[in-house]
Amino acid sequence: MNTQPPRFKFNTVGLFTRQNKAIVDFYTRAFGFTTSWDGIQPNVEMYLGDMRIILYPRPDFEQMTSRAYQYPEGFNGTMELALDVPTYADVDREYAHALACGGRSVLPPTTEPWGQRTCYVADPDGNLVEIGSFTKE
């Protein structure tokens, strides 16, 4: 057993965005993230408990790093944000709520053979958000 403290603590996901305001509106309304963003600065920090998401506009990031990048079009199938909810019923409820807040359906709530009820929605930039639970009741 390793008794050494870890070298790193994973604490943040960064998203390079096309539209910070739409992303902030979606995550705050759909999932309850909070932010003190002033609507002006390019860098946005959003929090939900111990989770943190940083948003940074794509052109600003390219200027900062002096590089051009290729970004996915449509749904971003290169990564996901995964949110765990207490029960199967919560998966269905949160899916409907995310759609009502502007999310786009990728996979409606489905009970998978491995016992997880899961669904996927896309945020306004096409980033995938999974909402899932392993608890029926």
Cα–Cα dist 22/104, whole Å: 13
Taking all residues of the chain, what is their mean pLDDT, rounded to a whole number? Answer: 96
Q: What local confidence, expressed as pLDDT, does residue 133 receive?
A: 98
Amino acid at 46: M
111 in Cβ contact with 88 (< 8 Å): yes
Whole-model pTM: value is 0.92
Question: What's the burial of 109, exposed, middle or buried (CB within 10 Å: 0-12/13-18/19+)?
Answer: buried
Residues 52-98 have pLDDT tens digits of: 999 999 999 999 999 999 999 999 999 999 999 999 999 999 999 99
Does residue 32 sit in helix, strand or coil? coil
Q: Which ranges in 76-132 belong to alpha helices (H)?
A: 88-100
Q: What local confidence, expressed as pLDDT, does residue 58 receive?
A: 96
Indicate the DSSP class of residue 6.
Answer: P
Task: For 25-126, list the strands marked E by DSSP.
Answer: 34-35, 44-48, 51-57, 76-84, 104-111, 117-122
